């Protein structure tokens, strides 16, 4: 332990029997008391802020939301285990839980190793999840399912438990060195570095780079209706980059130092032991900083979940206003991502005006007027991208029909319906057919229906 790292040399090492003690320096005590204490406190609040929104049912509906929730829980487990170091080194400056010290020490080491390993792989799974959504967006709903995510999380937990279970054994943990697992003197540090650091980090870097390249390549070809999704992907890429950089700056130095320390402690002099303890203590604080910041930098679910879960925020946001006030009008989503609004009524009477809304700029622009003023009409977007307006009313009920062509922004009249009607419905059928049903004609409620074929 850092508070009093004592090495009892045994026959396992070719050193004469003696003992060496490393006393915590004032700087190390100060670092743990104020540095580690502040990091743990901020980390708890950050993880709590992440856990609360990500635990909502609407957010957990996506695979990414579930992964961030698990990551926040793992980081919280690591911080809870780190409070043992904070109290022991920063406050008490001596052993705590004397009656069960060995058990608590082993449990602390297991929880920190387990949480650190799992968090690294959850970050990797998040990176893969985002990579699939950007690279293979059409297959995302098939691959990024709750079942697949649960299997990935379960696999990470199983592997982490298997790799760290020896820390719970009194026969393997601290047998030759207090606070160091017996297998640390062999291949364990290398296994921990390779599977808990190098492999996740390498794949995360490759995935982030490929996502960046893909977004840059498609930047000029993004259609307006996909502009918001593109912004979301870029925001998630920035979050991933921050997490990867934080992971890179904190985890590799700690893991490399573990390898060096495992062998240095076998042959360390008292002066060298003091240096090892100080360096290990500093790196422990650095590793805790990673778990205190990861979930906090990832806790921006609002934009992500608003796009995938409209029920999450239930918030309306104002956008650009139309050029003309109107009601009882039609509104149609065009194939180019814009919205066509036509006709309706206002204080000046029936309208024949039409205008287009561009979601990418949030601006309305006027387009050509219809051939007839009308309200209570229907609008149907056809397979070729044109919009068919049927019926409606002005001074009288209409049977007229006209088509809007977005490519040239013009209206063209076509054959009239057999019966005038308004307040009716219209549906686009297969084979380019439109069927209109019911409605009213003056004071008569209609049960008639007719269809129009474009071919």
Where is 250: in which H helix or E strand?
A: helix 227-267
Rg (C-alpha) for the chain, rounded Å, is: 33
Q: What is the reported pTM?
A: 0.59
> Is residue 298 located within the same domain as residue 348?
no
DSSP code, position 416: P
Range of the domain at 260: 4-10+21-308
> Is residue 178 located within the same domain as residue 30?
yes
| pLDDT for the residue 309 | 46
Provide the pLDDT confidence category of residue 93 given band limits of 50, 70 and 90: confident
Instruction: Give the residue-averaged pLDDT of 59-80.
Output: 84
> Is residue 272 located within the same domain as residue 402?
no
Query: Tens of pLDDT along 262-296?
Result: 666 666 555 566 677 677 777 788 888 888 876 55
Q: What is the DSSP string of 131-172?
A: HHHHHSGGGHHHHS-HHHHHHHHHHHHHHHHHHHGGGG-TTT
Provide the pLDDT confidence category of residue 444 given band limits of 50, 70 and 90: very high
The percentage of the chain sitting over the pLDDT mark of 70, rounded to a whole number, equals 76
Strands, E assignment, 26-162: none
| Domain end call among 278, 308, 338 | 308
Report the CATH number that the domain containing residue 76 is assigned in CATH.
Answer: 1.20.1070.10
How many helices (H) and strands (E) in the chain?
12, 19
Lowest mean pLDDT segment, chosen from 101-105, 114-118, 155-159, 450-454: 101-105
- Surface-to-core class of residue 349, CB atoms within 10 Å of its CB (0-12 exposed, 13-18 middle, 19+ buried): exposed
Query: Is pLDDT at 418 greater than 70 in this prediction?
Result: yes
Report the CATH number that the domain containing residue 347 is assigned in CATH.
Answer: 2.120.10.80
- Count of structural domains within the chain: 2
φ, ψ of residue 192 in degrees (nearest 5): -65, -40
User: Angle 326-332-335 (CA atoms, 0-180°, nearest 5)?
Assistant: 145
């Amino acid at each position: 332990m850092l508070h009093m790292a004592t090495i009892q040399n045994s026959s396992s090492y070719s050193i004469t029997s003696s003992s060496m003690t490393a006393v915590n320096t004032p700087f190390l005590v100060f670092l743990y008391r104020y540095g580690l204490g502040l990091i743990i406190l901020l980390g708890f609040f950050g993880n709590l802020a992440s856990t609360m929104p990500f635990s909502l049912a609407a957010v957990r509906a996506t695979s990414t939301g579930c992964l961030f929730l698990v990551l926040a829980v793992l980081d919280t487990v690591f911080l809870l285990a780190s409070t043992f170091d904070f109290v022991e080194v920063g406050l008490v400056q001596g052993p705590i839980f004397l009656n069960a010290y060995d058990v608590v020490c082993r449990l602390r080491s297991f929880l920190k190793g387990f949480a650190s390993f799992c968090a690294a792989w959850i970050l990797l799974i998040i990176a893969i999840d985002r990579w699939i959504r950007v690279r293979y967006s059409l297959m995302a709903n098939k691959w990024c399912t709750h079942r697949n995510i649960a299997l990935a999380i379960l696999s990470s937990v199983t592997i982490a438990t298997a790799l760290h279970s020896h820390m719970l054994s009194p026969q393997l943990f601290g047998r030759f060195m207090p606070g160091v697992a017996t297998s640390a003197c062999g291949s364990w540090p290398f296994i921990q570095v390779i599977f808990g650091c190098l492999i996740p980090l390498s794949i995360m870097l490759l995935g982030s780079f490929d996502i960046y390249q893909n977004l840059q390549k498609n930047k000029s070809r993004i259609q307006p209706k996909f502009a918001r999704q593109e912004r979301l992907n870029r925001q998630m890429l920035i979050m991933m980059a921050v997490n990867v950089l934080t992971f890179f700056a904190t985890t590799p130095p700690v893991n490399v130092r573990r390898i060096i320390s495992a062998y240095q402690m076998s042959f360390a002099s008292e002066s060298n032991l003091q240096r090892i303890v100080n360096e290990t203590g500093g790196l422990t604080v650095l590793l805790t900083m990673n778990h205190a910041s990861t979930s906090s930098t990832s806790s921006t679910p609002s934009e992500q979940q608003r796009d995938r879960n409209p029920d999450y925020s239930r918030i309306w946001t104002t956008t650009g206003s139309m050029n003309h006030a109107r009601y009882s009008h039609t509104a149609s989503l065009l194939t180019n991502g814009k919205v066509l609004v036509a006709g309706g009524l206002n204080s000046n009477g029936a309208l024949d005006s039409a205008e287009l809304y561009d979601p990418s700029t949030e601006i309305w622009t006027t387009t050509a007027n219809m051939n007839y003023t009308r309200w209570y009409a229907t609008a149907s977007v056809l397979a070729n991208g044109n919009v068919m307006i049927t019926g409606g009313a002005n001074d009288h009920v209409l049977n007229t029909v006209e088509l809007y062509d977005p490519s040239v922004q013009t209206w063209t009249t076509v054959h009239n319906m057999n019966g005038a009607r308004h307040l009716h419905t219209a549906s686009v059928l297969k084979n380019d057919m439109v069927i209109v049903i019911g409605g009213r004609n003056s004071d008569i409620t209609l049960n008639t229906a007719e269809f129009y074929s474009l071919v």
